Structure 1
Amino acid sequence: MASPAMYRTALRRTARTATPSQWIRYASSGGEPQPRRPLRILPLMAGAVLVGAGVGGFWAYKTYPQLSKQKYHDQIPTQAVKAEILLEKPRKKSKSKEDANELISPQHVQVKHSHEHPGVYAWGSNVGKVAAPDSKEANIKTPRRIPYFDGQILRDLKLERDFGVAVNEKGDLVQWGVGFNRDAPTPEVTLRGKDLAKVAVSRDRVIALSSNGQVYSIPVAKADQAFAENTPNSQTSWSIWSGTPLHTQHYRTLKPANLGWNEQVVDIKSGLEHCLMLTSNGRVFSAASSTEEFPSRGQLGVPGLTWANRPAGPYDQPHEVGGLRGFQVKEIATGDYHSLVLDNEGRIFSFGDNTVGQLGFKPDLTTTHIDTPSLLPVNQLYAGTNLVPKVTYIAAGGLNSFFTVDATKTQSPSGSEVMPASELGKVVVETWACGSGIHGELGTGKWLHVSSAPSKVKALSDLYEYDEASNTLSPIRVKEIVVGSTHVCAVLDTVHDSSTGSSGKEDPQFGNDVLFWGGNECYQLGTGKRNNVNVPVYIGALDGDSVVAERLDSELGRNRLQIAPRARVNLLEREGKARQVEVEQRVECGRLISAVYSAV
């Protein structure tokens, strides 16, 4: 008879090496090892197998507690094991409101970055070292920062293909480009202490307006500035036509005559050869703004005025536009050779060159220009409708003109169509364009050499969005249209603008949408491609910081360019000090070049 120890040893050995058939033989034999032989399963032996399995199960039932108990006693350690302390892993902190805003809105990141890192982005033609003064590239395909302006906010900025002009926060004039200095085209302060507020540029001169209403005309080229400074006399300004340099300063003063009490110039605009000045009393003055050519296409708005019959005195003396007397003018605009004026009643007057229909009238081969301010018949554009139009904004540049209209719904005068009471008084906002469209600058989806009448820019008309503050649909207006020589930009005025007060400080920030169209021969549209575009399109966000590039979505549909609206921010200075300042981003379109800059 085998002892219990022998049974346990045999059980362990069998458990390690036995096959299923050997387990059956072992259990049925009462635990005695059996010779290995093939197992033949016959129908008559099925009952015996079941009986054997039952006996083996009963034995295992009786024996297993003893085996388990013995195994437990064998594994008891001689000394107590020290318990291991497991520290709880730190819980994931909930995202802050700011982190959530950055995830929700890629535009929020753009606006925040523009507030924290003010500066100037430029792209387009670089043959004049304007878009990238330190680069030898002929064209800058996508927005790139100009290092000189990093951390700066400007009062104004104007760009041409060969030179750039800016007014810094102190009111000093900054110039750069090969048109300014071919040997050293980097930015340089050229006029200090005049507290300048705005600038406009002509073919070869800069027209600057100070905060106190003084208007200055400064040569673009640094060599011309040096020549004027070294002249002996100081009575009158220098003119290339008189051949007599008579001024010790490198600028000229343009002062309209017969200004009223406390009346001063509040706005300036300039074409290639002329400039317009708007006074605080709503009067308009015009003057020559170039030393190369005297305005001769009617753009001064003074009938019959030419170089030959100009009044005695400086060639660039301001002339009041007499045809506008009695009208309270609130806006002025200039193209290369034409002018636009808008009064406070919503009426447009245009004068100057009309060879491609930029004045809004059908071109006449016998009369290529109009030298008297002429009222543009906007009402005819809405003839046969129940809309009453009023012009709210004007813009011009190159060979093009633009204006926006608020058209109010009223009952039809004929009574043939009854307007529902809920529709009466609603405003439809529309944008119109005229002039040349050969590069697509009209934005109408067509390529036209000449405009016979203004055309509606459908992509910028009849736009609405939901205003959460008033729980109504509000029309989306055009905040600004900036017109270059062959391309155009429109900035939309949305209800997300923080100046409307519809968005809290902790809510996601949204900027103003920006759309470009027109000529793109030097990549001035910022699309990264060179094809012209005849309808307004979005472009990608500004190049900017690599950190911002990683945080912004790469899809253009979500990550479209939006410029920051005006807001009060803490600006960190180079000394590490912070100061509060109101800042916004603006867009500039020049001759084959574009820019976005931080403005005070």
Structure 2
Amino acid sequence: MWTYRGRQSVASIVTHSSRRLATGNRPAATPSRRRYASGGFKGSPQPADSHWLRNSLGVAGAGTAAFLIYEYATSNRNHPVESPLEKVQDLSKSAGDLSSEFVQHKRSLKSPGVFVWGNNAYRVADPNSKESVVKTPRNFTYFEGQVLRDLKIEERSGAAITSNGDLVQWGKGYSEKEFKPVKTLTGKNLTSLCTSNDRILALSSDGKIYSLPIAKEDQLSGRKLKEGSWVPYWSGTADVSYRVLQPSLKLGERVTALRGGLDHALLLTSSGRVFSVASSTENYPSFGQLGVPGLTWATRPKGPVDTLHEVTALKGSKIVQIAAGDYHSLALDKDGNVFAFGDNSFGQLGMTFNPASPFRDAPTRVPIRNLYRGPWLTKTTRIAAGGANSFFAVDAQRALGPDENLSTVRDLGRITADTWTCGRGIWGALGNGKWTHVQDAPTKVKTLSGLFEYDERANGLSPIRIHDISVGTTHVSAVMANQTHVDAAPTASLDENKDWGFDALWWGGNENHQLGTGKRSNLSKPSYIHAPLESTDQQEARLQIMPRHKGKVEGRTVSMEQRVECGRHVSAIYSAV
């Protein structure tokens, strides 16, 4: 399941809201506020020492302290909280350790599965344990030996799509009595999902969007649709209550991606159009995150509350990626332009915060180009959002300035991959080493920026980009697109190539041990965490993510990879097809 590598710093791989929706006869709720997730040391002054005995004891204590400090500074057994935990033996120098590395690769091929850690008060991280928190990555026994199509995990409930397209749910948010994993929506050939405050939206292989309650009680008590069958003259009633959302699509157009916040969801189609929808029965999106100017509970059109709305302001751009935070939305077009809309209370839109107008209900272009001075050509390649934070991966290519001589510019055309972020940083989720409450101008995550590795094919340096980034409510994880052998084919079996795996780094809030460090301290800079040990005599090594590879699952060979999922105070790594 895991890949191991001796810890080293990233630098070492660098060249060398709102009302309740009407459901049946349920009354509408009143508007509510944003519900974002929310010490110091005390001491007393010491009296001055005047007695000779006290002075003698003070000298002795100072000597002892100096000795302990020296021992601490020269020992590898302790690591500072803000350090990437890098002082371990270099595994690449030992043939024996190297062979054990590849044994672990083969073990991963034979036993895919899911590891979860963080808040367990609602029995999400480990349904079989009564512990309030799971401090380090722990095997989720129900999914042992399985590969999944998708997984979303939150504080109160978890949801996953199995390899055959069935929806599995668990946690006390699903059921207070039966919180262990159980299949709910089956037979729909689901491919991906997103969750809101109280509902799940799932995309099927034929492009249909299913919306169903998270809670088992609501699934069983709500209106159930009649379903047809391939057997002639036979029909029945669905086992659970759900709705099918119907966007207005063109001929041949289909929904390809889903992303969700607390009260809203975004849908991306094959033609690059974006639709938004109210996805919660608790609150109606009222902070502009739907991207429709003037749309509120009071001004919504007639018809179902969860009617899909096209974000028409994006019609002139072919959108290729979408992302959603708790109350804000992002869209990336094919030319690398980023558009943001929704709540900007913490600067998560990458625009100046205005207390008189704390949100924007129309998509506005984020000025990424202004982040670079001098002759640079920029293109955003990836976006991510979660909680009150946004992230942008940018390729910056060195261009020729108006007053520069071509013969004197050595790095012309060279591409540098950078990561920028904005939003709330009070828990360290910005990753820039600062604890900032509001960051409304994108700031660079230096640990993840300007990285290179040697490319044998090009006989030169290649930028290390972000392979994936997952943003939770208060914490973040980034998976780097580094490989030991750049020549390795992405479909090659790990038995044939010797890639170590992707570097994975974590930072931000750790109040529920969601960073997996085993401690509760927050981290303001991207840092490595330990892979779980499978034996007491195994050497500690940093956790890495398996790249796409071939493996055996239930007697068949499948192409799989590991993915990271950061949710609300909980984290997971799972094997995905």
Task: Give TM class, smaller chain.
Answer: 0.7 to 0.9
Q: How does 1:35-114 map to 2 (within 5 A)?
A: 103-104=97-98, 107-114=101-108
Amino acid corresponding to residue 273 of structure 2 in structure 1 = R
Check whether the contact 1:412–1:419 (CA below 8 A) recurs between aligned residues. Answer: no
Q: How does 1:95-494 map to 2 (within 5 A)?
A: 103-104=97-98, 107-229=101-223, 250-257=241-248, 259-382=249-372, 384-413=373-402, 415=403, 420-494=408-482
Amino acid corresponding to residue 386 of structure 2 in structure 1 = G
Unaligned runs of 5+ in 2: 1-93, 228-236
Check whether the contact 1:511–1:565 (CA below 8 A) recurs between aligned residues. Answer: yes
| Same amino acid, percent of matched pairs | 50
State how far apart, in whole Å, the 2-side matches of 1:196 and 1:297 are. Answer: 30
Amino acid corresponding to residue 446 of structure 1 in structure 2 = K
State how far apart, in whole Å, the 2-side matches of 1:101 and 1:343 are. Answer: 47
Q: CA deviation at 1:491?
A: 0.3
Check whether the contact 1:411–1:419 (CA below 8 A) recurs between aligned residues. Answer: no
Superposed CA deviations along residues 9-32 of structure 1, whole A, max 9, x for unmatched, are xxxxxxxxxxxxxxxxxxxxxxxx
SS of alignment partner, residue 124 of structure 2: coil
Q: CA deviation at 1:396?
A: 0.2
State how far apart, in whole Å, the 2-side matches of 1:158 and 1:187 are. Answer: 13
What residue in structure 1 maps to residue 549 of structure 2?
A: 567
State how far apart, in whole Å, the 2-side matches of 1:499 and 1:446 are. Answer: 39
State how far apart, in whole Å, the 2-side matches of 1:288 and 1:406 are. Answer: 34
SS of alignment partner, residue 473 of structure 1: strand
Question: How many residues are treated as equivalent by the alignment?
Answer: 473
State how far apart, in whole Å, the 1-side matches of 2:261 and 2:457 are. Answer: 42
Superposed CA deviations along residues 144-173 of structure 1, whole A, max 9, x for unmatched, are 011111111100000000100000001000
What residue in structure 1 maps to residue 568 of structure 2?
A: 591
Superposed CA deviations along residues 79-135 of structure 1, whole A, max 9, x for unmatched, are xxxxxxxxxxxxxxxxxxxxx976326653443322211111000000010000010
What residue in structure 1 maps to residue 507 of structure 2?
A: 517
State how far apart, in whole Å, the 2-side matches of 1:140 and 1:311 are. Answer: 45
State how far apart, in whole Å, the 1-side matches of 2:129 and 2:267 are. Answer: 36
State how far apart, in whole Å, the 1-side matches of 2:492 and 2:453 are. Answer: 13
Superposed CA deviations along residues 37-65 of structure 1, whole A, max 9, x for unmatched, are xxxxxxxxxxxxxxxxxxxxxxxxxxxxx
Q: Which has the higher contact order (CA 8 A, sep 6+)?
A: 2
State how far apart, in whole Å, the 2-side matches of 1:260 and 1:127 are. Answer: 45
Q: How does 1:547-558 map to 2 (within 5 A)?
A: 550=537, 552-554=538-540
Give me the CA root mean square deviation.
Answer: 2.1
Amino acid corresponding to residue 347 of structure 1 in structure 2 = N
Q: CA deviation at 1:466?
A: 1.7
Q: Residues 417 and 292 from structure 1, CA distance in 2 versus in 1: closer, same or farther, beyond 3 angstroms?
A: farther
Q: Residues 111 and 247 from structure 1, CA distance in 2 versus in 1: closer, same or farther, beyond 3 angstroms?
A: closer
State how far apart, in whole Å, the 2-side matches of 1:250 and 1:417 are. Answer: 68
Check whether the contact 1:499–1:565 (CA below 8 A) recurs between aligned residues. Answer: no
Q: Residues 541 and 365 from structure 1, CA distance in 2 versus in 1: closer, same or farther, beyond 3 angstroms?
A: same
Check whether the contact 1:495–1:502 (CA below 8 A) recurs between aligned residues. Answer: no
Amino acid corresponding to residue 381 of structure 2 in structure 1 = T
Check whether the contact 1:111–1:509 (CA below 8 A) recurs between aligned residues. Answer: no
What residue in structure 1 maps to residue 14 of structure 2?
A: none
State how far apart, in whole Å, the 2-side matches of 1:221 and 1:504 are. Answer: 41
Check whether the contact 1:121–1:542 (CA below 8 A) recurs between aligned residues. Answer: no
SS of alignment partner, residue 112 of structure 1: helix
Check whether the contact 2:492–2:549 (CA below 8 A) recurs between aligned residues. Answer: no
Q: CA deviation at 1:452?
A: 2.7
Superposed CA deviations along residues 509-560 of structure 1, whole A, max 9, x for unmatched, are 31111000000001100111100000000011134x44xx64x422xxxx11
Match of 1:542 among 522, 527, 532: 532
Amino acid corresponding to residue 467 of structure 1 in structure 2 = D
SS of alignment partner, residue 102 of structure 2: helix
Amino acid corresponding to residue 440 of structure 1 in structure 2 = G
Q: Residues 507 and 283 from structure 1, CA distance in 2 versus in 1: closer, same or farther, beyond 3 angstroms?
A: closer
SS of alignment partner, residue 453 of structure 1: strand
Amino acid corresponding to residue 256 of structure 1 in structure 2 = P
Check whether the contact 2:347–2:441 (CA below 8 A) recurs between aligned residues. Answer: yes
Amino acid corresponding to residue 316 of structure 1 in structure 2 = D
State how far apart, in whole Å, the 1-side matches of 2:96 and 2:212 are. Answer: 45
Question: Runs of 4+ in structure 1 displaced over 6 angstroms?
Answer: 501-504
Unaligned runs of 5+ in 1: 1-99, 236-245
Check whether the contact 2:483–2:501 (CA below 8 A) recurs between aligned residues. Answer: no
SS of alignment partner, residue 161 of structure 2: strand
State how far apart, in whole Å, the 1-side matches of 2:239 and 2:542 are. Answer: 50
SS of alignment partner, residue 561 of structure 1: strand
State how far apart, in whole Å, the 2-side matches of 1:361 and 1:143 are. Answer: 36
Q: CA deviation at 1:234?
A: 6.5
SS of alignment partner, residue 363 of structure 2: strand
State how far apart, in whole Å, the 2-side matches of 1:179 and 1:141 are. Answer: 21
Q: Residues 108 and 362 from structure 1, CA distance in 2 versus in 1: closer, same or farther, beyond 3 angstroms?
A: farther
State how far apart, in whole Å, the 1-side matches of 2:193 and 2:569 are. Answer: 19
Q: CA deviation at 1:471?
A: 2.9
State how far apart, in whole Å, the 2-side matches of 1:102 and 1:270 are. Answer: 46
Amino acid corresponding to residue 461 of structure 2 in structure 1 = L
State how far apart, in whole Å, the 2-side matches of 1:247 and 1:166 are. Answer: 20
Check whether the contact 1:156–1:199 (CA below 8 A) recurs between aligned residues. Answer: yes
Farther off after superposition, 462-471 or 280-289 = 462-471
State how far apart, in whole Å, the 2-side matches of 1:504 and 1:288 are. Answer: 43
Amino acid corresponding to residue 443 of structure 2 in structure 1 = S
Amino acid corresponding to residue 457 of structure 1 in structure 2 = V
Q: Residues 362 and 429 from structure 1, CA distance in 2 versus in 1: closer, same or farther, beyond 3 angstroms?
A: same
Greater per-residue helix proportion: 1
Q: Residues 396 and 371 from structure 1, CA distance in 2 versus in 1: closer, same or farther, beyond 3 angstroms?
A: same
Amino acid corresponding to residue 502 of structure 2 in structure 1 = N
State how far apart, in whole Å, the 1-side matches of 2:95 and 2:499 are. Answer: 8
State how far apart, in whole Å, the 2-side matches of 1:140 and 1:156 are. Answer: 22
Superposed CA deviations along residues 449-469 of structure 1, whole A, max 9, x for unmatched, are 001300000000000112234
State how far apart, in whole Å, the 1-side matches of 2:283 and 2:438 are. Answer: 25
Check whether the contact 1:431–1:457 (CA below 8 A) recurs between aligned residues. Answer: yes
Superposed CA deviations along residues 374-424 of structure 1, whole A, max 9, x for unmatched, are 011111111x322111111000000000011100001113x1676745411
Check whether the contact 1:107–1:511 (CA below 8 A) recurs between aligned residues. Answer: no
TM-score scaled by length of structure 2: 0.79
Amino acid corresponding to residue 151 of structure 1 in structure 2 = G
State how far apart, in whole Å, the 1-side matches of 2:201 and 2:524 are. Answer: 32
